[in-house]
């Protein structure tokens, strides 16, 4: 890579947009920020999910089955300024959390590079990364990653290997 290519790469503006309920996806988003820089944007629903996990499951199952995109508190006003957008979600019923679907449906990500990431409690990535790819069809979507949620904070080496494999930030060293 020549110096001009490196300078151009370094000028790419990064956004890390994520939804978290338990804090696991937020930990993952912060690890990405610590490794590649960028701005964090927490996707927050207008109507908070119930505190009981079982009640969250009931509400989110209806939203997913009926393809409801719940309103979110805010949008990224300057989305056009970003070149690379990481999109993070927990795995809910084998797909992204409904507020993430809302985020993707409300922002024009064409001509962007989208990089999906997910946390899960044992269900793996399921359709999370594929569904983000489908909703970002006008963007260039790179290979995503899913990490088991509870120890997400301890997965720094796995995240580092994934980011280096993407080859868009050069070789990241800790």
Q: How confident is the model over 23-78, as pLDDT tens digits?
A: 999 999 999 999 999 999 999 999 999 999 889 989 999 999 999 999 999 999 99
**What whole-number percentage of the chain has pLDDT above 90?**
76
Q: What is the pTM of this model?
A: 0.90
User: What pLDDT sits at residue 153?
Assistant: 57
User: What pLDDT sits at residue 10?
Assistant: 53
Q: Where are the domains of the chain?
A: 13-166
Residues 168 and 14: beta-carbon distance below 8 Å: no
**Model confidence pLDDT, tens digit, residues 74-117:** 999 999 999 999 999 999 999 999 999 999 999 999 999 999 99
CB atoms within 10 A of CB 79: 16
The average confidence (pLDDT) of the chain is: 90
**Which of the 8 DSSP states describes residue 151?**
T
Rounded mean pLDDT, 142-165 = 84
User: What pLDDT sits at residue 152?
Assistant: 57
Domain 13-166: give its CATH superfamily. Answer: Flavodoxin domain (3.40.50.360)
Question: Long-range contact list for 50-54, CB < 8 A, 24+ apart?
Answer: none
């Amino acid at each position: 890579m020549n110096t001009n290519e490196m300078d151009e790469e370094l000028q790419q503006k990064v956004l890390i947009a994520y939804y978290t309920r338990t804090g696991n996806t937020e930990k993952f988003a912060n690890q990405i920020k610590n490794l590649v820089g960028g701005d964090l944007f927490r996707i927050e629903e207008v109507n908070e999910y119930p505190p009981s996990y079982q009640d969250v499951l009931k509400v989110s199952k209806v939203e997913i089955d009926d393809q409801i995109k719940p309103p979110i508190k805010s949008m990224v006003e300057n989305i056009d300024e970003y070149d690379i957008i990481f999109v993070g979600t927990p795995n809910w019923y084998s797909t992204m959390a409904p507020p993430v679907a809302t985020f993707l449906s409300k922002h024009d990500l064409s001509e962007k590079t989208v990089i999906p990431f997910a946390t899960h409690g044992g269900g793996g990535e399921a359709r999370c990364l594929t569904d983000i790819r489908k909703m970002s069809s006008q963007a260039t979507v790179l290979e995503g990653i899913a990490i088991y949620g509870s120890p997400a904070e301890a997965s720094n080496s796995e995240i580092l290997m994934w980011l280096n494999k993407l080859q868009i930030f050069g070789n990241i060293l800790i």
